[in-house]
Structure 1
Amino acid sequence: MRSYSCCSSINFPRSGLLNPLIRSPQPGIHCVPFNSHFPYRLYFKLSGSRIQKYGHSSTRHRLVVAVMDWDSSFSLDDRVDSDGSVGYSFSSSEGEESDGDIILNPITDVDIPTSRDQFHQSDDALTVTAQKLTMMGRSQRRSRIKYGIFINIGLVTFLTVLLLLLDSHAWRIVRLPLPPFHLICPFTASAVLVSCAGYICVPLFRISRMQQIISKWPARHSSKKGTATMGGLFLIPIGVVVAEVLVGFSSIEVSGACAATIAFATIGLMDDFLRLVKRRKNGLYPWIRILLEVAVGTWFYFWLCTRNISSPYSIKMVVPLPLPLGLVCMGGSYLLLTSFCFVSMANGVELTDGLDGLAGGTAALSFIGMSIAVLPICSDLSVFGASMAGACVGFLFHNRHKASVFMGDTGTLALGGALAAMAACTGMFFPLLITSGVIVLEVLSVILQVSYFNTTKHVHGIGRRLFRMVPLHYHLESCGVKEPVIVAGAYVVSSILMLYAAYVGLISV
């Protein structure tokens, strides 16, 4: 096999145009004119004992390709032009077995950087710093995830121990024999079923593109974009069905509370559907949603008037309050109170659902507080509250930091409607106000922010703000408080308020 040797010379002229034809320095070397519209590329084509050569160059370079037989006496290995040209030799004559290899041997110590090298220079110090920052970010995320697990375990342990104590001493509270594990059974059943259902439903939500839109959220929550939402689709039905099954579908109060919960879940489902599927930015129009919520509250009031439900001392439309107030008969005002409670609680839980686990944990504590408060009035309704609390706790296994699914309006509106239904059936509005203190603070922060802004804008011409952001948990996060710390603090405050609300409800009856 005949061996070939080729040498190329790259010249950098100081000025002037390239020659249209590059002359051959020796016989047997073929040169062709170059096209200036393409970058460096060489095309070799074997033809007998010669190689046909084609080349391209830019307007700033000149490329010479020379090919000769290995036996020729002429060599360009050490050629350096007087104008500063630098030569490189391409050799394929290392042996017959290596004819297909091309070896690049620089002749001089001059390196010509390419455009890629100029723009992609490696900086070891910068790379190491970036890697360290990345590892720090990952460690912080892992620590926050651990905090979410510890917070969730603490909440579950607290509620389980509390319900076991209540079941063991329930006869002292209601003065009537109750079945064993009256509250812990619905709580545990709902928690286990919802947590198991989440492992099936959450992947399905992701496949179905049911993902959260975060256009209204702070920029630091951009990492939550794409998280599955509408978790209320498996949270609410399980809580409702478990409560109905355990009471044997025989309790009027539980049936009414379940109906109100499903009605609010339907409103939330419509809102989520328009926002996620129809890509309407705000879902339902606010005035339409308020009208629907008021309609459900009005219907619930008239349903209470036509049904024989349990009430303190067999008197309807009364609100039990601690002494010296006692029982307060509301009369026709009970309609306004019921509708206001439904609307405020539903939208309050929705506003609270801004951090991972915040709405679910506070709602679970509120349900437990209401279950204890209504236990002497309607023990079946306390089963409904315990079942909904267990459903919220089971949902926290997927909603804790970092959340894999959100409730959506389907879940938040339904939870608020369920709390309001428990209060409307028994008149326990005051214990509800106490046990849902965190939710009330979230709503008050929005009301104060809007009112103060409009007032200062009317007086001074420029609106001013009380908080950096609303609801309240966004303000705390803007002040530098970490998300798991805010959630843990909300759980502690809700636990204290829940115990006090349960005490107030028991002494009121």
Structure 2
Amino acid sequence: MYSHSRVLSHHYLLLASHKHFSRAIASQGQSSSFVRYSCSHSCSPRLNPLIIQQYRCCGQCSVLTRAFGEDSFDLPLLDEWDLDGNSSGYFLSSSDVTAHRLATLGRGRRRHRKKFGIIISFGLIIFSTMLLLYIDWCAWRIVRLPLPPFYMTRPFLISAFLAAFVGYICIPFFQIFEFIQVFKKEGPVRHLLKKSVPTLGGLLFVPIGIFVTRALGGFSSVEVLGAAGATLAFAAIGLLDDIFSLTTKQKRGLPGWAKVLLEAAVGTSFSIWLDISSISSPYGMKMLVPLPLGLVYLGQYYRLLTSFSFVSMGHGVEITNGLDGLASGIAALAFIGMSIAVLPICSGLAIFGASMAGSCVGFLLHNRYKASVYMGDIGSLALGGALASMAACTGMFLPLLISSGVFVVEASSVVIQAIYFSITKGLQRLRRYFLHMAPIHRHLQLSGFGEPTIVAGAYIISSLLALLAGYVGLVSA
């Protein structure tokens, strides 16, 4: 197999396949900047499926191409392209920069991004561990009852270790059985290069979070049992969606309306179960929403709020699950914020949240940039259902909104994009799209930000939101 530096050693630069390059140019519109390369050559290239052979030049030509880079534009670097038999290429001849230098520069940038991905992942783990240790240290002041040592840190660390260990064992089998993630064709070009990454990673960490909760807490409270049941129900919907996607080799699995109906059915069933079950509420009555200024009784509207929370959280996490390590890291921080908020009301749910946060962190070690596995809809929907169930059992909807702020923004960007497109559809002088591409992390990508940079920013924002959500929950309770 010829290396890229050897194949392109005579200054012949393969920019992109015709299909991918055209799509990248179209996605940027007419405002894209171009660089003109001129040379005293008129070339007659001859393309082999695997080897780009040397060709002779006999005249003058002018090649118009675009300056590129993986972070600045939506085009990958040389070493990430698959030279298969179905790709046709553009070539240019340059006497200034050799392909070997470009390939070396590309490898250096990728190594830097991988190191940055490792740093932000371990930074998230250290922050989460230190925060939970502090909460355990002052938990007796919050609950006013003696709790076992390392009440929340222990399930967090155990789940993280088990999820990481199971991932190292099972991911090779996912690759063998070809559980490969399917990407949308209209998405960014560089995501088509991740076509060999397996999915269904939710099978690796969602059961572990529930198992650790069962082992340490024993499902002693009705709330924990209901939260675990709602999580598994949403995981089943996601698994069904992933199976349809894998069997049809298309990004869309279940129809959108069917998925919404199933999620709404689970949310409605959960709200009815809350109404008829005997939940130990410190307020002496159900259907209450604790707020910093007092308690609000919603009555039958509590069911509508519960169903809406389940549907919106499921879709919010699913939409955010588009970059390496984005959804798993944000979900871990959201679970920590919710665990702190619900600790005075239901300490068993705090164990459940810490266990789910730890399983997300353990999965993050395999899902960070560059990811070796994706969680799939089975993981994203299960995380959304778990967060919504914690809020529904305790009434902590305001801390849920705060801790899941990134999920809310991601889902809102899709809605805003659709509304803006509908309003400006008949107006030719206005832009037809509010963002380059929805959701907002795609817009940031096409604006020139790299994946680890976007993920690091989201982690910082989610960390602050988790602290705020925990504080608001403690004040409200």
Residues 213-228 of structure 1 mapped to structure 2, 5 A cutoff: 213-216=182-185, 217-228=187-198
Q: Residue 410 of structure 2 corresponds to which residue in structure 1?
A: 442
Instruction: Assess if the C-alpha contact under 8 Å between 1:321 and 1:508 holds in 2.
Output: yes
Q: How far off its partner does 1:466 sit?
A: 1.1
Q: How far off its partner does 1:278 sit?
A: 3.4
SS in 2 for 1:313: coil
Whole-Å separation in 2 of the counterparts to 1:380 and 1:474: 38
Residues 190-269 of structure 1 mapped to structure 2, 5 A cutoff: 190-216=159-185, 217-269=187-239
2:289 equivalent among 312, 316, 319: 319
Query: How far does the alpha carbon of each residue in 1:60-118 deviate from its partner, in whole angstroms, 9 at most, with x for none?
Result: xxxxxxxxxxxxxxxxxxxxxxxxxxxxxxxxxxxxxxxxxxxxxxxxxxxxxxx99xx
1:341 equivalent among 309, 313, 318: 309
Q: Residue 111 of structure 2 corresponds to which residue in structure 1?
A: 142
Query: How far does the alpha carbon of each residue in 1:252-277 deviate from its partner, in whole angstroms, 9 at most, with x for none?
Result: 11110000000000000000000012
Query: How far does the alpha carbon of each residue in 1:224-243 deviate from its partner, in whole angstroms, 9 at most, with x for none?
Result: 11101110011110011111
Q: Residue 43 of structure 1 corresponds to which residue in structure 2?
A: none
Instruction: Assess if the C-alpha contact under 8 Å between 1:244 and 1:254 holds in 2.
Output: no
SS in 2 for 1:481: coil
Report the RMSD for the aligned CA atoms in angstroms.
2.0
Matched, 1:423 2:391: yes
Q: How far off its partner does 1:460 sit?
A: 5.9
Letter aligned with residue 197 of structure 2: T
Q: How far off its partner does 1:251 sit?
A: 2.0
1:501 equivalent among 453, 459, 469: 469
Query: How far does the alpha carbon of each residue in 1:435-470 deviate from its partner, in whole angstroms, 9 at most, with x for none?
Result: 111111001111111011101225669772111111
2:133 equivalent among 164, 168, 171: 164
Matched, 1:368 2:336: yes
Query: How far does the alpha carbon of each residue in 1:472-500 deviate from its partner, in whole angstroms, 9 at most, with x for none?
Result: 11111111111111100000000111111
Matched, 1:392 2:360: yes
Instruction: Assess if the C-alpha contact under 8 Å between 2:289 and 2:297 holds in 1.
Output: yes
Matched, 1:299 2:269: yes
Q: Which has the higher contact order (CA 8 A, sep 6+)?
A: 2
Whole-Å separation in 2 of the counterparts to 1:310 and 1:495: 30
Instruction: Assess if the C-alpha contact under 8 Å between 2:183 and 2:251 holds in 1.
Output: no
Whole-Å separation in 2 of the counterparts to 1:463 and 1:491: 31
Whole-Å separation in 1 of the counterparts to 2:208 and 2:350: 16
TM-score (norm 1): 0.74
Instruction: Assess if the C-alpha contact under 8 Å between 1:345 and 1:420 holds in 2.
Output: yes
Whole-Å separation in 1 of the counterparts to 2:96 and 2:280: 70
Moved more, 463-472 or 392-401: 463-472
Moved more, 460-469 or 222-231: 460-469
Instruction: Assess if the C-alpha contact under 8 Å between 1:231 and 1:411 holds in 2.
Output: yes
1:424 to 1:210, Cα distance in 2 relative to 1, 3 A: same
Matched, 1:132 2:66: no
Whole-Å separation in 2 of the counterparts to 1:356 and 1:125: 35
Instruction: Assess if the C-alpha contact under 8 Å between 2:121 and 2:365 holds in 1.
Output: yes
Instruction: Assess if the C-alpha contact under 8 Å between 2:414 and 2:439 holds in 1.
Output: yes
Instruction: Assess if the C-alpha contact under 8 Å between 1:244 and 1:255 holds in 2.
Output: no
1:307 to 1:166, Cα distance in 2 relative to 1, 3 A: same
Whole-Å separation in 1 of the counterparts to 2:287 and 2:188: 43
Moved more, 309-318 or 134-143: 309-318
Q: Which has the larger radius of gyration?
A: 1
1:203 to 1:370, Cα distance in 2 relative to 1, 3 A: same
SS in 2 for 1:314: coil
Instruction: Assess if the C-alpha contact under 8 Å between 1:455 and 1:463 holds in 2.
Output: no
Whole-Å separation in 2 of the counterparts to 1:280 and 1:122: 43
SS in 1 for 2:236: helix
Q: Sequence identity, in percent?
A: 58
Instruction: Assess if the C-alpha contact under 8 Å between 1:144 and 1:484 holds in 2.
Output: yes
Whole-Å separation in 2 of the counterparts to 1:128 and 1:467: 34
1:377 to 1:122, Cα distance in 2 relative to 1, 3 A: farther
2:246 equivalent among 271, 276, 291: 276
SS in 2 for 1:277: helix
SS in 2 for 1:304: helix
